[in-house]
Structure formats: structure tokens, C-alpha cells
Amino acid sequence: MSAKPVTIVRTIAGLRAQVAAWRAAGDRVALIPTMGALHAGHLSLVALGRERAERTVASIFVNPTQFAPHEDFEAYPREEAKDAERLSEAGCDLLFAPSVEEMYAPGFSTTVTVAGVSGPMDGAARPHHFAGVATVVAKLFHIVQPHRAYFGQKDAAQLAVLRQMVRDLHFDLEVISCPIVRDADGLALSSRNRYLSPVERRQALALHRALQRIQQSIATGERRSERLLQQGTQEMDTVKVDYLAAVDAQTLLPVDRVEPGTLIAVAAWIGSTRLIDNFLTDLASTTTPELPSAPR
């Protein structure tokens, strides 16, 4: 039996009318913003959204303002028909797929800049990126007015920026972060993985290896960031590391020692593809190494 086809809406007015009707009926609305080329990671966000909302809205919008001129805006994969099928099977109610002109009317001149937290990590490599992300997500929040919005922990810096924006601008919604979905060999799913050649695909595993090495080292008691990052770097000699960092997950500022909830994050270039990955330290589940017994 085929699933009920997701309703596709392209205009802000159309979207608002539909969500207003749902809200009037007392339904809760979950929003899952994406740039399309959907994979199991995106669909896990839809599944989590459905757990606590009667209605789920996914958006697909390749947002030009978050790409620098030399980046892959034109080449970014666009496959809306397939994505609509995937969303239908996932039980998503509505796909909001506006044009660039619908989202950015002629004369558009307002930008949301989240100072501080937009600067480190991905913000350092992509200086205007998070202003583009914050601006488009602020627009989506105003347009959809969801009760909750779902984002992947994979984009940890993006989450920190958006949480700060929601606090600062008093958006009346809850931001939910969702676990990273990976391929069987550990590579974090990403729409950009399709850019990788078979050789690069193998090289890309270095990111996961580096994080695993750090995780193991934390599990055996190491807490010094410098030492942990050195160990992780040793696993990445086949890729061009952009950053490997131990930071406070909210401020993204570096920490000298890892604590519960410290974010360990990596970005690296594999050929011309930039990939990211991370984990949050969970010291509750780690063991303290046994000290060697003192000589008697």
C-alpha cells in the first residue's frame, strides 16, 4: 500500500493558511527545515517530529544567502520529486518548497546576525554562513510558527547559533536536537557525501576514526583537550583538517579540559568536499582508569 502523498506548498500565504487551520483545530506542528537531497538523517528528524506533534512540516530550500560565491550553491543536489516520495513514506504532512523569489522578495534587506557564537568553527571557515542560516530559519519560524523545530546534532555549531537566536528574539517554540544518523561504517550521513569518489569515501572515515579515538581516550580517563586533540589529529593524516576542537557546546569557545557535555567537533576537506562530524562527551558513561598499585 503506498503512503498518502505529502502536500506540496510553494507560497508563504498557502503555508500560513494551512498551518492556521491546523492550529485552530488544536493540532501541534513540528517543523523540519532542510535543503533537500533527503537521507535517513533527515527522515529521522521527521520521525522524531511526528512523536510529539499531530502535523509535520518539512521545508526544502537551498538557501542562497548561506553559500559564499565560491561554494556549491549551484551544484547542490536538487531532487524534489524523490524527496517528496521519501517524505510521503515518512508520514510527513506538508512539504514547503518555496522559490528563492518567494523567500527573498525584491528589495529584501534584513539579516539576522547572531554575534559571538557565529564566529568559531564553521563560522571561521564560512564567515557569512550563519547569518544566512539564522536569517532563513527566522523567516521559516515566522512563516510556519511551529511548536517545535527539529535540527540534527550533526550541525552542532548551527544548533548553538539557532538556540541563541531563539533565546534572543523570543521565538515561542522549542528547538529539538536530534542524534547523528550514520552509515554502517560510521560515516555521518550528509547530502554532500554523494560528491565523494569511492577513494574519498574511504578517506572520509578519518573524521569518525578521530572522534572515536578521542572518545576512547576520554573513556580511559584523559581530560586534557590538548592531548585529546593531538590523538584525534593522528587519525586524520589522509584528509585536510579544517578544525578539530573541544568547545563549550553553547558558546563554542574552546575548553582546556573536557567536561560532561563538552562538544568535540571536526571539519575536514576530502578533495573539494568539506565534511563535519562531532560528539558530545558523556562522562557519566565513562570509566576512571585503575591506578597502578603502588609498590609495597
180 binds ligand AMP (CB under 6 A): yes
Quote the least distance from Cβ 40 to ligand AMP, whole Å: 7
Beta strands in 79-166 (DSSP E): 94-96, 148-152
Return the residue of 43, 136, 188, 247 that touches ligand AMP, per CB under 6 A.
188
Rounded to a whole number of angstroms, the distance between the first and last alpha carbons of the chain is 73
The count of residues interacting with ligand AMP (CB under 6 A) is 17
Cα 226 vs. chain centroid, distance in angstroms?
26
d(CA 232, CA 48) in angstroms, rounded, equals 32
Examine the residue annotation and report whether 128 is marked as an active-site residue of this protein.
no
Closest CA to 191 of 155, 242, 140, 156: 155
Q: How far is the CB of 64 from ligand AMP (least distance, A)?
A: 13
- Give dist(CA 293, CA 249) in Å, integer: 37
The span of 75-83, 87-95, 134-142, 185-193 binding ligand AMP (CB under 6 A) equals 185-193
Catalytic residue among 42, 129, 147, 208: 42
Subset of residues 8 to 47 that bind ligand AMP, contact rule: CB under 6 A: 34-35, 41-42, 44-45
- The contacts of residue 37 (CB under 8 Å, 6+ apart) are 76, 77, 78, 79, 83, 191, 194
Q: What is the radius of gyration, based on Cα positions, of the chain?
A: 20
Paired with 211 in beta bridges are: none
- Give the residue with the Cβ less far from ligand AMP, 29 or 35: 35
Which residue among 152, 205, 245, 267 contacts ligand AMP (CB under 6 A)?
A: 152
The CB-of-236 to ligand AMP minimum distance in angstroms stands at 19
Q: Which is nearer to ligand AMP, 155 or 242 (CB)?
A: 155
Q: Which of 293, 283, 294 is nearest to 221 (CA)?
A: 283
Binding site for ligand AMP (CB under 6 A): 34-35, 41-42, 44-45, 151-152, 154-155, 178, 180-181, 188-191
Kindly list the catalytic residues: 42
